[in-house]
Structure 1
Amino acid sequence: MGTKQTKGAGPDGGSNPWQGAWRRAQCALPLRAPAGAPRGSCGTPAPYQRRVEMVQEVLLMARQGRQADASELLKVLRQDLGMESTSLDDVLYRYASFRNLVDPITHDLILGLARCIHCPKTEGDVLSATEKVCRQLTYHLSPHSRWRKPGHHKGHLQVRCVSPVRLKVVVSSPPAGGTVDISGIPLSPQDVVQLASYLSQHSGEVSSVELAFTELTDEALLALLDTLSALPHLESLSLNGNRLTCHVLRHLTDALKDPATFPTLAWVDLGNNVDIFSLPQPFLLGLRKRCPKQGNLPTIQEQGEGPCSSGHRTEGRSGDLLELHNPGKIW
């Protein structure tokens, strides 16, 4: 855990530390990708699928009383999320202020899970506390609840995604309320071209673009970048749960240095991607210049919050209140 994750590692590689856990979880856990979602050239799952499977494997080990195994798998999960410290003290205190983190909610929950496993208050409530945190992590790292089967109890760990509306339905009419929401729709290269054309056609009407859990790659986002950066009223951009890497973050940071691009952008969600774990200072400064009245720039937006919400507490999708330490604050 003290070394950096090997570039390009995935569950299909023979030497990957989570390979055994991932394969066991694949057979035992009910998580499914959205219908029609591509699995990548090597058949690897999207990062969010691998992470949810590891969370549920940790819970399974805890239920079986295998605390040592759960602790080891949690180390792997922390590494996969960019929390590579081997020391629990480092995990608890190094990230306590959530400086510039892309996904402070996930980090907060990982800290809570580490406390449940390593520092339980009483032996009797260890499992219930672990189940609660794992439920929150599963829900937060998975596609939104509106894609789940009707009547499914939101507190259950099982997550099954139904087939979302097709892209052609979304682009058949002007954006409602200024929002273009295609979250959960896997995007092919042809879809990206179609989406870029639609955004250009309705550029003056778009204030929010939701591209979460669309299997978006660096190449696809870079193909959209010129179109997105030219939208005159775009305030929020959701890119979480995809296959993006630090490579594309450099392009976004460079774009934000130019005041003519993304002129009104106030919020970006890049969480739960491949290896984007923190935001460069120029990136945050670029957002600050576009939203000068916002003291704490949010990088994670939960239900009920606006693009420029300044609250320090946010309600997670599982309904449990999470305490955040100034998410996205420029120090």
Structure 2
Amino acid sequence: AGRAGAGAGLPPYHRRVGMVQELLRMVRQGRREEAGTLLQHLRQDLGMESTSLDDVLYRYASFRNLVDPITHDLIISLARYIHCPKPEADVLGAMEKLCRQLTYHLSPHSQCRRHRGLAKRKPQACLKAVLAGNPPDNTVDLSGIPLTSRDLERVTSYLQRCGEQVDSVELGFTGLTDDMVLQLLPALSTLPRLTTLALNGNRLTRALLRDLTDTLKDPSKFPNVTWIDLGNNVDIFSLPQPFLLSLRKRSPKQGHLPTILELGEGPGTGEEAREGTVGQDAGGSPVSLAKDHKGKAAVSQT
């Protein structure tokens, strides 16, 4: 029998976004203690229960292998505002902004589909439009389109036909299970120019991560991939060293993988390094930063 992964029910992002919205409602009502408890549940749902509250609040821990450093950073900032509020700061405004950022990051948001006027079409019409013609900007963006096993046959045929042009494949928030990704794996792993593969926001499990790690051990598979986004799935919370090392071997000149720097790494040390990837915007609110696969700073939606 095949592995369906967490095939039944809705993908976990539905539950997580609901928790963020409920947390914001509690904060607005002044129920800070209850909000702190709910934040703890959200941390556990995102695989952060192994980090102590001190680590979360003061960022003394090392989180090099995080699968989703942006979400982790936003959770850290929320914990600081809930447990260590500054009297002079606009705590409510800052937390509302952080919750908006978390909701955006944990929800489907295909920029490509919106720009191409596909956002209001039915899923099958969207799929047909995306798979028509050559991939724009060398990107196959199917994010947010619910896919079935039959749809994957069409996607596979398209990748085989246009594979020489594909640099990026976006499959986030498409309802994929472990078995569905395995169905696509032969076509995806042989794309000669593919650099980034997004599988976030689905129903994938650590069993698939093991399969991907084994696949990456073969240098002929995913020959140019620099990053595979597995965030916001069922129980994939950290990335094994063999997975990261395999990516590093494919891009030895690349300076940054999208993970938070450990203490003592990068241009700063001490407090600067401990502050990791959170900066301040003009209004003094935390801005979540992560290094994207090209080494540039990527700022989550405000």
Question: TM-score, normalising length from structure 2?
Answer: 0.80
Which of residues 14, 21, 34 in structure 2 aligns to 1:49?
A: 14
Q: Count how many residue pairs are aligned between Structure 1 and Structure 2.
A: 263
Could you say which residue in structure 2 is the equivalent of 1:266? 226
Q: How does 1:1-331 map onto structure 2 within 5 Å?
A: 41=8, 44-85=9-50, 87-92=52-57, 96-122=61-87, 125-144=90-109, 146=111, 162-163=120-121, 165-298=125-258, 308-311=293-296, 313-318=297-302
Contact 2:199 2:229 in 1 (8 A): yes
Cα distance in 2 between the residues matched to 1:145 and 1:119: 35
In structure 1, the residue corresponding to 2:13 is in which secondary structure? helix
Deviations 1:79-131 (A, max 9, x none): 00010047410323567443111110100000000001000011762212211
Instruction: Pick which of 123-132 and 238-247 moved more.
Output: 123-132
* Structure 1 residues 123 and 196: alpha-carbon distance in aligned structure 2, compared to 1, 3 A threshold: same
Instruction: Pick which of 110-119 and 127-136 moved more.
Output: 127-136
Question: TM-score, normalising length from structure 1?
Answer: 0.73
Contact 1:236 1:307 in 2 (8 A): no
Contact 1:235 1:307 in 2 (8 A): no
Question: C-alpha displacement at 1:246, in angstroms?
Answer: 0.8
RMSD: 2.5
Which amino acid in the other structure matches residue 249 of structure 1?
A: L
Asked which structure has the greater RCO (Cα within 8 Å, sep 6+), the reply is 2
Deviations 1:53-103 (A, max 9, x none): 101101101111111111111110000001004741032356744311111
In structure 2, the residue corresponding to 1:273 is in which secondary structure? coil
Could you say which residue in structure 1 is the equivalent of 2:282? none
Which amino acid in the other structure matches residue 84 of structure 1?
A: E
Q: Where does the alignment leave 5 or more consecutive residues of structure 1 unmatched?
A: 1-9, 11-39, 151-160, 319-331
Could you say which residue in structure 2 is the equivalent of 1:327? none
Cα distance in 2 between the residues matched to 1:199 and 1:148: 18
